[in-house]
Amino acid sequence: MQYNFDEVIDRSNTGSIKWHYEDDTIPLWVADMDFKAAQTILDSINKVVEHGVLGYTKQTDALYDAIINWHSSRYGLTLSKENILFSPGVVPSISLMLNLFTEVGDAVLINDPIYTPFVTKTKLNGCKVISSALKEVNGRYEFDLADIEAKIKKHKVKVFLLCNPHNPGGRVWTKDELKAILNVCKKYNVAIVSDEIHQDLTLSGHTFTPFLTLADGYEHMVVSLTSMTKTFNIAGIKGSMIFAKDKAIVKQISNQQRLNDEYELNLFAYKVMQSAYEQGGEWLEQALSYIEKNIDLTIDYLATHLPDIKVMRPEASYLIWLDCSAYGDDDKVLYDKLRAARVELNSGIQYGQEGHLKMRINVACSESVLKEGLQRVKQALVDS
Ligand SMILES: Cc1ncc(COP(=O)(O)O)c(C=O)c1O
């Protein structure tokens, strides 16, 4: 089936977090796409509705098989049913993992810039945030291994909260980069919690490596978190998975989840997850090729009209990290200027100090909306 990603679907007045305006502002911020979900997902919801009985529901073997097959066929990650736990979201799982691996006052290492809840959840869990700035090398981010090791040692870090692929920088960390992180964590007995929610949005020319495929012999200290919601643009459904290979860790996570009855998803999430992993590949392939075109369009537009913005081409996902320092010297003023031109981007500073005078733009929308949004960015930064 051919999907039409050019279609502009009115999302106003739906409770959408992204489309929250009274006027005609174009939202190029929060990480959801404006595209309609895959037909198989809509069909799976309709099937439940037609059946009409919405009682207590558990995971089926068919669901486990769908998850296992998706991850083994795409990434060579071998999972069994016993390695998979369910959680309402990756962010709630981050908190759960912090509970598991830390005590109040412990140090947690994160990179800067980083997806904001890495910081907020660490603080809310009573832990110290230790951040290691990513280094920009040839237009892309790299880990600063010496800094990471020094900070782990100095602060007796207990957990490295890793974002792979990275949000907001769009890096898909290579096997060698991840092995280097593994080695340093092993040396100091640091647990690794790998947020892999952007895994399936890896763009052409790059290869996603699940952290668990490298964790041989260290599996008692590695947990990965992922979800079908980002991949298939169904964040409103809520649902995610926790993968862990070590039996004792699985048991501990499971016990933690039972404290608050957080181990179950709703009926729709189970059905949608199964159908997405069984039959959503076709939609995903088309969505990714549309996104790649939008990324090219954005980079070309900015090179022509706003040549002093330094663009980090993403290796995964539809979020592009823009260095706008040539166009302002105050984060709030920059953000407000764009809002005044009726376009919203994420202010980079919300992702850490490294985000100073940077902006994150979301290009997962129809081409016509994107073009209008880019014109407004130009209007705000050049024409005003
Ligand atoms: C790196 C990362 N982790 C987690 C999430 C959200 O996960 P969830 O909605 O499952 O809590 C996002 C959403 O943008 C994200 O970018």
Mean of pLDDT values over 112-119: 98
Q: Which of 260, 279, 298 is the last residue of a domain?
A: 279
Residue 288's nearest CA partner among 358, 208, 352 is: 208
Q: Which of 279, 304, 324 is the last residue of a domain?
A: 279
Mean of pLDDT values over 82-103: 97
Counting residues of the chain whose pLDDT is more than 90, the rounded percentage is 98
Tokens linked to 38: 């895959």
> Do the domain assignments include residue 17?
no
Instruction: Give the neighbor-by-neighbor strand order of the sheet with 319-323.
Output: 310-312, 319-323, 358-362, 346-347
> Do the domain assignments include residue 6?
no
Ligand 1 contacts CB of residue 95 (under 6 A): no
Centre of ligand 1 to C-alpha 197, Å, is 6
What's the pLDDT band for 256 if we cut at 50, 70, 90? very high
CA count, 13 A, side-chain hemisphere, 71:
30
> Do the domain assignments include residue 164?
yes
Number of helices (H), then strands (E), belonging to the chain: the values are: 12, 15
Please confirm whether the linkage preceding 88 is cis (ω < 30° from 0). no
Ligand 1 contacts CB of residue 32 (under 6 A): no
> Do the domain assignments include residue 148?
yes
pLDDT beyond 90 at 262: no
> Do the domain assignments include residue 9?
no
Report DSSP state, residue 379: I
Long-range CB pairs of 105-109, under 8 A, 24+ apart, other chains included: 106/156, 106/157, 106/158, 106/159, 107/155, 107/156, 107/157, 107/158, 108/157, 108/158, 108/159, 108/160, 108/161, 109/148, 109/151, 109/152, 109/155, 109/157, 109/159, 109/160, 109/161, 109/190
Please, what is the average pLDDT of the chain? 97
Q: Which of 279, 304, 328 is the last residue of a domain?
A: 279
Cα gap 188→247, rounded to integer Å: 22
Question: What domain range is 343 assigned to?
Answer: 26-39+281-378
Centre of ligand 1 to C-alpha 52, Å, is 31
Q: Residues in the chain, how many? A: 384
188 and 264 assigned to the same domain: yes
Mean of pLDDT values over 65-70: 98
pLDDT beyond 80 at 170: yes
pLDDT beyond 90 at 75: yes
> Do the domain assignments include residue 305?
yes
> Do the domain assignments include residue 240?
yes
CA 32 to ligand 1: nearest atom: 14
pLDDT beyond 90 at 47: yes
123 and 250 assigned to the same domain: yes
147 and 189 assigned to the same domain: yes
Mean of pLDDT values over 29-38: 97
115 and 188 assigned to the same domain: yes
Q: Which residues of 207-231 are buried (b: 16+ CB within 10 A; e: fewer)?
A: ebbbbbebbeebbebbbbbbbbbbb
pLDDT of residue 135: 98
Mean of pLDDT values over 96-113: 97
88 and 189 assigned to the same domain: yes
Residue to mutate, 230, 242, 360, ligand 1, most ligand atoms under 8 Å from C-beta: 230
pLDDT of residue 7: 97
Cα gap 218→205, rounded to integer Å: 29
Counting residues of the chain whose pLDDT is more than 70, the rounded percentage is 100
154 and 286 assigned to the same domain: no
- For residue 239, what is the domain's CATH number? 3.40.640.10
77 and 33 assigned to the same domain: no
- The secondary element (H helix, E strand) that includes residue 97 is helix 90-101
Centre of ligand 1 to C-alpha 358, Å, is 20
Residue to mutate, 167, 223, 224, ligand 1, most ligand atoms under 8 Å from C-beta: 167
pLDDT of residue 342: 98
216 and 315 assigned to the same domain: no
220 and 345 assigned to the same domain: no
30 and 135 assigned to the same domain: no
Ligand 1 contacts CB of residue 115 (under 6 A): yes
Q: Which residues of 234-244 are buried (b: 16+ CB within 10 A; e: fewer)?
A: bbebbbbbbbb
131 and 153 assigned to the same domain: yes
Give the chain's radius of gyration (CA, Å): 21
* pLDDT tens digits for range 15-26: 999 999 999 999
* pLDDT tens digits for range 314-371: 999 999 999 999 999 999 999 999 999 999 999 999 999 999 999 999 999 999 999 9
For residue 117, the SS3 value is helix
> Do the domain assignments include residue 217?
yes
- pLDDT-wise least confident of 9-13, 107-111, 146-150, 184-188: 9-13
What DSSP assignment string belongs to 1-15? Answer: ----TT-----TTTT
62 and 31 assigned to the same domain: no
| Residue 256 vs residues 80, 197, 243, 253: alpha-carbon distances, Å | 21, 22, 15, 5
pLDDT of residue 383: 82
pLDDT beyond 80 at 384: no
- For residue 298, what is the domain's CATH number? 3.90.1150.10
* Tokens 């501990």 -> residue: 252
Q: How many domains does the chain have?
A: 2
Ligand 1 contacts CB of residue 90 (under 6 A): yes
- pLDDT-wise least confident of 214-218, 258-262, 265-269, 290-294: 258-262
